[in-house]
A and B are shown apart, each in its own frame.
Chain A
């Protein structure tokens, strides 16, 4: 069981570019969550998705950020026109059902915006 796979592990972008982060959940898990960890802070919830559905995106910035979890393939977190404040570690987690009690986290994708 490969666990939750995230890629890329490290991504460097210049201001104004786009960043795409991918997350493949654990086998058998159909619920995906994205969290962001800013320097010196704990993880903050961003979005919760099931296959082809966004269930809760209350933690996502209203502009430039979007997420999807298509029927086939990984979940994608997309950040358009990145700014320096987007530099952070982005963690994906998955669960077999919609419960926070059994989250499995990936190793994270660290985004650096120059």
Chain B
């Protein structure tokens, strides 16, 4: 079965500092990986995805993620965090044509 793990429940950073949210995956075959963000009282919003091609994927709101096959990781990064980036972040992997399997989520808090 395809699965992802987010090893950190919470990440705290100061505004202006780099932000990294970790995700590792376990899949058979080539993984299709996603990052979603959930703001309070809102639905999940798509940030970016890796299907194939360049290992560095650029997404919305200045986020990017690096696919690392040898480390089976797909960490989300932002060079300079904003207070407005405070939210719940989910990593996900495509299980089949239409199902996603999500990690448990990482709460990001960016302090001013």
Contact = CB atoms under 8 A, between A and B. Distances in A.
B34 to A, nearest CB: 8
Interface residues of A, number: 29
Contacts of A44: 102
Contacts of A108: 43
Contacts, number: 63
A43 B99 contact: no
Interface in A84-114: 91, 93, 95, 98-101, 103-108
Contact of B90 (A42, A98, A99, A104): A42
B105 A101 contact: no
A18 interface: no
Contacts of B92: 42
A55 B96 CA distance: 13
A42 B98 contact: no
Interface in B87-112: 90, 92, 94-105
Interface of A: 3-4, 6, 9, 31, 33, 35, 40-45, 48, 55-56, 91, 93, 95, 98-101, 103-108
20 contacts: A3-B43, A4-B43, A33-B98, A35-B102, A41-B104, A42-B105, A44-B102, A45-B100, A48-B98, A48-B99, A95-B98, A98-B97, A100-B96, A100-B98, A101-B32, A101-B94, A103-B100, A104-B43, A105-B45, A106-B43
